[in-house]
Amino acid sequence: MELKFVKYNPAKNMTILVEDRVAPTDYAALANKLMAEHHVAAEQVGYIETAADNQYKLAMMGGEFCGNASRCMAVYLVESGLRPLGQWFAILVSGIDHPVSCIVERQIDQTTYWAAIEMPLPVAVGSLQISQSMRVDYVVFEGITHFIVDADGGERAEIIDLIRQSKEAVDSLAFGVMFYDAERQFMTPYVFVKQTNTGFWESSCASGTSALAAVLAVDNALTELLKIDQPGGVLAVAAEVDDGKLSRIVLSGEVSLVARGTAYIR
């Protein structure tokens, strides 16, 4: 099988977008092959679909929602001449039932853009006791649930295993564990996608960064622009609160084109 693809780097959360139409039942299996180190190699795969009324949809490999992949999709549409530079436009994304707004604001060089997305608002924000000694915040989005954990809270593999058994993680298409060092404003993201049965220590995570901003805004009334450093680079995020409720989350950062070509699947 031959598949046309583009590969993007949004803060090193390496993302493959497949241009050719593929049966949705094959999404997970093909993604696992494409993501392999001996193949195209990436942390996630999305599939470009067309919808009615000249709409475009990004279908992620496990049906989840991904903010970084959505920003890649926005850059793809601008590069392809399908959407304008410097104007907000809507795209459809798996994992949520309404369009999201994106803007590709400027070209930094011939292959690098600055892209922003108005992230979906959380369905719920709460806290969870995962052990006798540890309580964590969680943020439920449509399509993914994120848990915010103190970076120095204990053995990370054990924390992930405890969270994986929680109802909040079990009920979601995907879950993330964001290990956050508040003093350094540094976050290490782990994301597990059920459909592909894959867990990654990601280089950056857009929805996880938005979850952190949501928790800080709700718990600490912290709504100024945050620049959250992650293993792959910095993502900027700002949350707005009206009458004590989250009203908007905007996330932005660089997206660069890494490769474009044909992948051969055996």
Told to judge if 102 belongs to the known catalytic residues of this protein, a careful annotator would answer no
Q: What are phi and psi of 223, to 5 degrees?
A: -125, 5
Pick the catalytic residue: 61, 66, 163, 177?
66
Told to judge if 72 belongs to the known catalytic residues of this protein, a careful annotator would answer no
The token pair at 201 is: 């220590």
Which positions ≥6 away from 113 have C-beta within 8 Å? 75, 78, 104, 105, 106, 107, 254, 255, 256
Cα separation, 56 vs 137, in Å, equals 34
Q: What are phi and psi of 20, to 5 degrees?
A: -75, 150
Pick the catalytic residue: 205, 214, 237, 246?
205
8 A C-beta contact, residue 80 and residue 98: no
Residue numbers annotated as active site: 66, 205
